[in-house]
């Protein structure tokens, strides 16, 4: 069960995966925040939903962690995290001893023996991680994974990749925009835009076009830079995550101003949503997008 603590409340979602068919969304819930503490919200979730029967994952908010793109470290696997801690010492705006750190590998070009591979390092404050763990423990919810939205979006994007090509995906919510590029199921690019969904959902026509132009410039810069760094990856298309009616307008604008095809994602194309009919609406898909992505997580061997 993936659990997402958001500005407006607490979202949860679980899926069932079976070979040869789309992952099936089995359960979703939302409880509005209503000035409650996260402890009170988790207590309610535990009491009123089947969450206690699942292993739970927590999705951090963007303000809860930092993600750094770094060169690969030539050290044995068992020394990687301690070496990365030393590398991040000058990058963090707090003492490195107060950080919880994890590492994601970014494979290089297999045709050159993977020599150009790099890494992402994720850092969050120990205090925040401890607070979240305590809140789950107090609610008697079995927390087994702490995840980040970048990887949640990767999980959905990887379902859409054509053979041998990469996919760019762009989502928006009240935390801002998130651009990712995935290839062979791996996260190769993650970049945040300081543009919130409400900025163009509620804007008049002129302001909306200004935001669309800004989004286009940010995309062009990011994807041009990505192409230079990872010239062995051909990005097949840009896919817009669900975002309600405004997605069609943004898709039309981007398609006429960018060099690659632009599509809008309907989650029904990659997931079986028959048990959750409310998710046929793109606005509801937008609200649950990151939580569903986190629920798609598959456990892998850590570095």
CATH assignment at residue 171: 3.30.420.40
Given this model, what pLDDT does residue 113 score? Answer: 63
Q: Does residue 161 sit in the same domain as residue 261?
A: yes
23/277 Cα distance (integer angstroms): 15
Inside any domain, residue 49: no
Q: Does residue 109 sit in the same domain as residue 208?
A: no
The pTM of this model reads 0.94
Phi-psi region of 114 (alpha: psi -120 to 50; beta: other; left: phi over 0): left
CATH assignment at residue 120: 3.30.1490
| Between 214 and 75, the higher pLDDT residue | 214
Averaged pLDDT for residues 155-161:
97
68/84 Cα distance (integer angstroms): 11
At 184, list the tokens. 């062979």
Q: Does residue 191 sit in the same domain as residue 238?
A: yes
- 8 A C-beta contact, residue 293 and residue 155: yes
Inside any domain, residue 163: yes
Inside any domain, residue 140: no
Q: Does residue 159 sit in the same domain as residue 113?
A: no
CA neighbor of 264 nearest in space, from 256, 274, 254: 254
Count of domains observed in the chain: 2
Range of the domain at 115: 63-127
Give the relative orientation of helices 282-295 and 149-157 as an angle to the nearest 10 degrees: 100
| Between 220 and 80, the higher pLDDT residue | 220
Instruction: Calculate the average pLDDT of the chain.
Output: 93
Given this model, what pLDDT does residue 299 score? Answer: 63
Inside any domain, residue 254: yes
Inside any domain, residue 142: no
Averaged pLDDT for residues 211-219:
96
Q: Does residue 163 sit in the same domain as residue 123?
A: no
pLDDT at 303 over 50: no
Averaged pLDDT for residues 136-149:
97
pLDDT tens digits for range 245-292: 999 999 999 999 999 999 999 999 999 999 999 999 999 999 999 999
Does the CA dihedral 34-40-46-48 come out positive or negative? negative
């Amino acid at each position: 069960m993936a659990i997402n603590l958001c500005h407006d409340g607490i979202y949860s979602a679980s899926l069932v995966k079976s070979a040869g068919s789309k992952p099936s969304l089995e359960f979703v819930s939302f409880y509005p925040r209503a000035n409650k503490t996260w402890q009170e919200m988790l207590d309610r979730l535990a009491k009123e939903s089947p969450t206690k029967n699942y292993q739970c994952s927590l999705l951090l908010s963007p303000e809860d962690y930092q993600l750094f793109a770094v060169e690969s470290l030539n050290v044995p696997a068992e020394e990687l995290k301690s070496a990365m801690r030393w590398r991040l010492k000058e990058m963090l705006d707090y003492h490195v001893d107060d950080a919880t750190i994890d590492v994601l590998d970014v494979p290089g070009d297999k045709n050159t023996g993977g020599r150009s591979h790099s890494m992402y390092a994720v850092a969050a404050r120990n205090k925040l991680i401890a607070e979240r763990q305590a809140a789950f423990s107090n609610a008697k919810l079995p927390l087994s994974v702490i995840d980040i939205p970048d990887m949640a979006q990767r999980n959905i994007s990887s379902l859409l990749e054509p053979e041998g090509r990469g996919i760019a995906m762009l989502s928006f919510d009240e935390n801002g925009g998130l651009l990712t590029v995935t290839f062979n199921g791996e996260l190769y690019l993650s970049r945040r835009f300081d543009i919130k969904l409400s900025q163009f959902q509620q804007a008049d026509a002129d302001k909306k076009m200004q935001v669309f132009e800004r989004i286009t410039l940010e995309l062009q810069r990011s994807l041009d830079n990505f192409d230079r760094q990872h010239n062995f990856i051909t990005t097949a298309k840009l896919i817009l995550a669900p975002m309600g009616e405004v997605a069609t307008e943004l898709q039309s604008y981007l398609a006429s101003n960018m060099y690659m095809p632009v599509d809008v994602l309907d989650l029904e194309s990659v997931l079986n949503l028959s048990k959750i009919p409310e998710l046929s609406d793109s606005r509801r898909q937008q609200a649950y997008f990151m939580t569903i992505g986190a629920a798609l997580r598959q456990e892998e061997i850590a570095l």
